[in-house]
Amino acid sequence: MVIAIHGRNFRAEVRHYIERMLHILVHQYHAKLFFSKDFARLIQKHELQAYDGQLYYTNHSDLPEVDFFFSVGGDGTMLESVTHVGARQIPIVGINTGRLGFLATIAPHELEDAVHNLYNGYYHFDDRSLIHLDSNCQLFGELNFALNEFTVTKRDTASMIIVHAYVDGEYLNSYWADGLIISTPTGSTGYSLSCGGPIVFPRSKNFIITPVSPHNLSVRPLIISDQSVISLQVEGRSRYFLASLDSRSEIIDSSVQIAISKERFCARLVQMKEHSFMETLRNKLNWGLDVRN
């Protein structure tokens, strides 16, 4: 089996679990490993054992063909991993060495069992839809897709912006707000949730349109079909605005025209059989926990 591993950071207390995972992959299952340049720096930082003939890749352009892609970190690392994999839909194994972890669901103490499950087929694929961005200035280059959301916001502390939104060419609304979020069901538990958006199950085939601090209190989050195309035009007193795809951002001005649709490929996440989205909701949001229980 050939496995790529990417990670940005992990705490010193999980060092033992990562080292144990690498040892099992190399010495028990004889896996061929490719480390991203960021994960290679982590190996050096935490003084983990290096393996003879270790292979490396730089970014999405030189990632080789692999069977699985291990994402070591939090949800931010998972979002980066999706850009590394791109349209190849390599199954991504999310290892949570961060904090909340809606996407990266495998805890460090579960790593050894997770590796055994992979080699024995005790897992399933959870395909997640992506957002595709088109614009008249080729925003974000060839990485014009996102797992969580596209967001346009005011750049600084200037007055609110106006986002004119259209769905399938028909005028929807002009949002007077600090910004506007277009999220996938996966992204419904991210920035959209913190702005009052609903939680949507991953396979619901929707987009969620959520305003950020809207001026009109009657303006509420809206759920539409992901078969629709959402067009945006931004204006405001400030000359520049901030456009974001997940954790990546670029500065735009009012001349930029934006169209958002469903990406033709998906992100293929690996889920262990003992994990589920509902379990993740209960655990991460502390549902049912009450001093009276």
Summarize pLDDT for 141-155 with one digit per residue, the tens.
999 999 999 999 998
Q: What is the arithmetic mean of pLDDT over 94-118?
A: 89
3-state helix, strand, coil in the chain (%, to 5): 25, 35, 40
Q: Average pLDDT of 69-82? A: 94
How would residue 53 be classed by pLDDT, with cut points 50, 70 and 90? Answer: low
| pTM of the predicted structure, to 2 decimals | 0.92
Give the residue-averaged pLDDT of 197-220: 95
**Which amino acids are annotated catalytic?**
75
Res 45: pLDDT: 85
> What mean pLDDT is predicted for residues 232-254?
94
Rg (CA), the chain: 20
Average pLDDT over residues 228-242: 94
Whether the CA torsion 288, 196, 210, 77 is positive or negative: it is: negative
pLDDT for 196 beyond 80: yes
Nearest to 200 by CA among 265, 281, 269, 270: 281
